[in-house]
Structure 1
Amino acid sequence: MLVLLAFSSHSQTGIVKKNASQKIVRIISGDRYSTGFLWKKGNWIVATLHSIGDPDKVIVKYNNNAFKKAVIRKVLKSADLVLLETGENIAPYFFDNHDVPTPGIDTRLFTVGYYLDNQNYQDVDFEVGLLQANSGNTNILKDLLPPAVERSVEKLDFPSTNTQILFLKGHLLHGFSGAPVIDLNGNLLGIADGGLENGAANISWCIKKHYLNQLESSSESFPSGSSSATKILFAADYRNDDGIRISLGDFVFRKIKTSTFNELNTTAQYSNEEKTGLGAMYQYMSQFSSKINSMKFDIYSEIKSGYTILVPAGYNLQQKDGRLETTNNQYGFKMIYQISKINTENLNQSFLSNQKFLMPEFEGGSGPVWYFNPQASYAKPIFTINNRVQRMVYNSTKGPIIVQTIADKQSDATSTYFTASSAYSSYTLTLQNTDAERDIWTVFMLSSYLTTFSN
């Protein structure tokens, strides 16, 4: 009987997800891809304001039907929402307007949407996250933002930092802005709002559903200009992806963007971190290269886990010996990346195993003897909302330096994605090295140090 009940529950969830998939659309506007959903009528579509690249050129596609032109009917800037309308009904299914209570912490939710330019929709699971509410009993966007980012958002015309949100423990894919966030009973609870860019990674949330009533009655007009800050601050779904994918076992990485260190630092404030760790590393690297802020990184995201890796821009990422690798043979630099899914009870053993995997001959042998560099390392792991990151630097008796990042992320109650990354230097850098050597050394070291997870 227990097995039958479990099967029935699993089957019911599948039905709910299938029903939700019949109420979403792909949206293309200007230079941005996104998702939207049908609401109250067969020709009303809810979308996010930041995903509208050209208000005069918005097209939507329902299932495998032809693209249809849509016009902007309503705008609600404070909640980053727009209501689109097509000339005729495009679907027989839509979400209604009945009220549902705010879900509790750890309530399971999901969404269905389109990942960038993919033709087929897919689902993503979440849980409602615990986030300290600093302005009452309900979370608002301000609760999620670091102070520097909050100031930047407040300079924009939208959204309001007082907008009520649900923090999502999970990984919103690029292209899911505007997707419906739904509970396992099929109730619409919110609108996926992409996510705040936290350096290389993203922090995800959704706008609460009750703003749809305000959207319908709003008389606001579309903003006259879209600030360039929206591209830095939000995971708006710009079509700058070149479709590069690479697999590692069951994991699939896709290149999602190219960013400068300055863009990443704007939201994550890496350079202002504690004296030990990345802040110290940033100051140390600044001695050797004046180009840190303009250095570019190709950023890859693993679709399901949110594992986010950085590669010096323009370098190839290749699969080799059960890991991903990128190299600069001229100067002897090599970076490797690894990810595995394990049971939570094996975390500590997995940490040690990955550390040895990343550091051949770490314990001596015929190679150099490595020693820990506390000034350029984190004294202990950094715990973020849903994962932890340990960044470590090792020097050796023979000159090489290793920068190593190991992170893990709790994905559900029984398993954890565990990841490791390392950069190798064949020598200790000095001021006597050429500018080119120093620049390449710096961008490789930063690439390893900034590897992380989205929440």
Structure 2
Amino acid sequence: MRTTIRRYGSLTLVALLGAGSMFNALAKSHKISARSVVSITAKTTKGTSQGTGFIWSRADYAVTALHVVAGARKITVYSEYKKASSGASVVAVVREADLALLKLETDLGLVPVTASATNPNSSEEYFIWGYPRDVATMQGDPIRFSMSLGQNPTLKNIFKSASQFKKILGEQGYPSLNAKILRISSTIQPGHSGAPIFNRKGRLVGIGDGGLRQGIARINWAIPASVYLPGLPVSREKIPQKASVHGSLLSHKVEGQTTVKTEGEAVLEKVWTTSLTEVLSTADASLLDIFNELNEKAMQEAGKGFENAMIDVYEDDQTGATIAVPRGFAITYDADSRLLKTHFDDHGRIDMAIQIVMNDTWEQGMQAMADFERKMIGAGRWLVDPEIPDMREAYPEDPSLLVTKFRYTADADDNAIDEMNLTLTVDRNDFLGTAVVARQVDSFDDNAWYQFYLMHFCAELADFTID
């Protein structure tokens, strides 16, 4: 936007300068509140759980997520700002909201944060401060709320059914499916559990929770501070004595820390190395159907299935999109085409192309989808198989759109030479596209077919954050 410069009297100029100083102070106030943020380390019978917390209500009280400290034999609270630590114990919990109140053995000299109500459908900018993935130095990240049709979203807005909720969290009983939440469209990482979410004035509006997965997609939410914190100190609910299932789900192994710089300042980071068996344990029914179909084809073409295959999961730090590739496959970014790429090259060639585009409007997301499809399919070379129709699933309430397409090239006898599977997603405004292209399929051996179906399923796993 072009600015028109006008002349002002000296008094007006001083007033404007003062307003600018106030704005700068306001923009930094969440950083001041971050001084009251602490890291939480809890040792349980299942190992060590890491999370974030904050000083609240009084100087010797800290709040964190219950699943971080449930069943802990020892809890350590550390202040990076004061370079000091204290032992702690759980003195109260609110199971519905997955919250725990800790009593510190030593006052760390931190100022309690102040909570404030917020609109779950707010479009304002917020900041989450904490220790994602157990980083050594606390970091603050901007986050966005997702819109809901209702004014008071609950976990029922995220999980399709009580059985799905139970499949992921088991019988532990916290949080509750009725818990009021803030829907978070940005990513919440392991280690963000219990992390404070501040508005620009430095007021506490939410507490990071979620961070679970359905398949490889992150499930994100936060707890509204003004709803549950007032009742936490006086709660008489039973304190869990067993370690949380939730906590163990967040302890994901990563083989070889890898980051890939993409568009602008965006970074794609490897966050998880796992087996498909573990991924499928939390997958929904539609993903299980796709797996069964592709696994059966792998058995027919390659003589073996891929249910025990290992994959690497990457996450985009701006959109929260997650993608998967077979373990050890390197991902590179091609700035000219704006595509992430990996490939398998032995007895034929298999290329996998991925694009993640953050947009401001639905129309931009749809345009990104059209551009990606045009880039991959081009003009006239690829054929449509009438026996494999295009699939289109629209969810206007989100809004989101999922499109899958199969294309092939053929010789004079209509025998396939190359095959392409496209998966295209627009989630609200953002776009995620994957294409798996098998070239010279007539030269494929068993291993090439195995890798093709595995890469195809990896492409089907790609998804945005579930919120």
Q: Quote the residue 1:94 is aligned against.
A: 112
- Cα distance in 2 for residues equivalent to 1:67 and 1:341: 40
- Cα distance in 2 for residues equivalent to 1:340 and 1:169: 15
Structure 1 residue 200: Cα displacement = 1.7
Contact preservation (8 Å) 1:32, 1:238? no
Contact preservation (8 Å) 1:74, 1:215? no
User: 1:162 pairs with 155, 178, 182, which one?
Assistant: 178
| 1:331-370 matched pairs, under 5 angstroms | 331=347, 332-342=349-359, 344=361, 345-359=363-377, 362-364=378-380, 368-370=381-383
Q: 1:31 to 1:353 in 2, by over 3 A?
A: same
- SS in structure 2 of the partner of residue 41 of structure 1: coil
Aligned residue type for 1:39? W
Structure 1 residue 102: Cα displacement = 5.1
User: 1:72 pairs with 76, 81, 89, which one?
Assistant: 89
Give CA-to-partner distance per residue, 1:373-406, whole Å, 9 cap, x none: 6747423455683654333222222432212223
**1:444 corresponds to 2:455:** yes
Contact preservation (8 Å) 1:74, 1:83? yes
- Cα distance in 1 for residues equivalent to 2:331 and 2:320: 18
- Cα distance in 1 for residues equivalent to 2:317 and 2:244: 28
User: 2:274 pairs with 249, 259, 266, which one?
Assistant: 259
| 1:33-52 matched pairs, under 5 angstroms | 33-52=50-69
Taking structure 2 as the reference length, the TM-score comes to 0.79
| 1:373-412 matched pairs, under 5 angstroms | 375=388, 377-381=390-394, 385=398, 387-397=400-410, 398-410=416-428
Give CA-to-partner distance per residue, 1:110-167, whole Å, 9 cap, x none: 32222213213112222353155xxxx7433233212232233462242222222222
**1:18 corresponds to 2:31:** yes
User: 1:124 pairs with 142, 164, 185, which one?
Assistant: 142
Structure 1 residue 83: Cα displacement = 2.0
- SS in structure 2 of the partner of residue 17 of structure 1: helix
Q: 1:71 to 1:220 in 2, by over 3 A?
A: farther
- Cα distance in 1 for residues equivalent to 2:61 and 2:256: 31
- Cα distance in 1 for residues equivalent to 2:376 and 2:84: 48
Q: Which entry has the higher C-alpha Rg, 1 or 2?
A: 2
**1:318 corresponds to 2:332:** yes
**1:214 corresponds to 2:224:** no
Q: 1:377 to 1:253 in 2, by over 3 A?
A: same
Sequence identity, in percent?
21
Structure 1 residue 47: Cα displacement = 0.9
Structure 1 residue 24: Cα displacement = 1.0
Give CA-to-partner distance per residue, 1:222-249, whole Å, 9 cap, x none: 53433546645xxx35565753222124
Contact preservation (8 Å) 1:373, 1:394? no
User: 2:305 pairs with 283, 291, 295, which one?
Assistant: 291
Contact preservation (8 Å) 2:70, 2:244? no
**1:85 corresponds to 2:111:** no
Structure 1 residue 93: Cα displacement = 1.7
Unaligned runs of 5+ in 1: 411-415
Q: 1:169 to 1:317 in 2, by over 3 A?
A: closer
| 1:169-318 matched pairs, under 5 angstroms | 169-209=185-225, 210-220=227-237, 222-226=239-243, 228=245, 231-232=248-249, 236=250, 238=252, 240=254, 242-249=256-263, 250-269=265-284, 271-272=285-286, 279=289, 282-289=292-299, 291-318=305-332
Aligned residue type for 1:445? H
Give CA-to-partner distance per residue, 1:314-357, whole Å, 9 cap, x none: 22223345432222222422212233445535444432222232
Structure 1 residue 214: Cα displacement = 3.5
Unaligned runs of 5+ in 2: 6-15, 411-415
- Cα distance in 2 for residues equivalent to 1:140 and 1:63: 33
Q: 1:155 to 1:330 in 2, by over 3 A?
A: same
Q: 1:321 to 1:373 in 2, by over 3 A?
A: farther
Give CA-to-partner distance per residue, 1:409-449, whole Å, 9 cap, x none: 44xxxxx543432212125589x953x44432221001112
Q: Quote the residue 1:329 is aligned against.
A: 345
Of 245-254 and 374-383, deviating more is 374-383
User: 2:158 pairs with 120, 124, 144, which one?
Assistant: 144
Contact preservation (8 Å) 2:188, 2:220? yes
- Cα distance in 1 for residues equivalent to 2:450 and 2:22: 55
- SS in structure 1 of the partner of residue 417 of structure 2: coil
Contact preservation (8 Å) 1:178, 1:194? no
- Cα distance in 2 for residues equivalent to 1:34 and 1:374: 50
Aligned residue type for 1:392? K
Q: Quote the residue 1:454 is aligned against.
A: 465
Q: Quote the residue 2:413 is aligned against.
A: none
Q: 1:220 to 1:287 in 2, by over 3 A?
A: same
